[in-house]
Homo-oligomer: A and B are copies of this chain.
């Protein structure tokens, strides 16, 4: 991992990584992800930081609380997985751009 690295440049490199990380946080806040469950009866949206920004429930589900709760769990976890996947692929991009670290 660190075999070919010039450690005297570590401080500078860390600053660059921090700067990139800050930009990514801003970008993530503006991305939006959505997941559906129950063939669209439940839809949950999150921003790229993993904050839930919208929950939409079809009226027909209000008569079936058990199904509603299960479908909510499913859609929330799906959208959080999408967020995590996006976050980790962006982190990989940043690390990749600093060749020595990855």
Q: A residues bordering B, Cβ < 8 Å?
A: 1-2, 7, 10-11, 14, 50-57, 59, 62-63, 65, 68-69, 72-73, 76-77, 80
Contacts and interface: CB of A to CB of B under 8 A. Distances in A.
Q: Main SS of chain A's interface residues?
A: helix
B52 A59 contact: no
Given A1-B14, A65-B62, A72 B73 contact: no
Contact of A73 (B53, B62, B63, B69): B53
Contacts of A53: 73
Given A52-B80, A54-B73, 10 more contacts: A2-B7, A2-B10, A7-B7, A50-B80, A54-B69, A56-B69, A57-B68, A57-B69, A62-B65, A80-B80
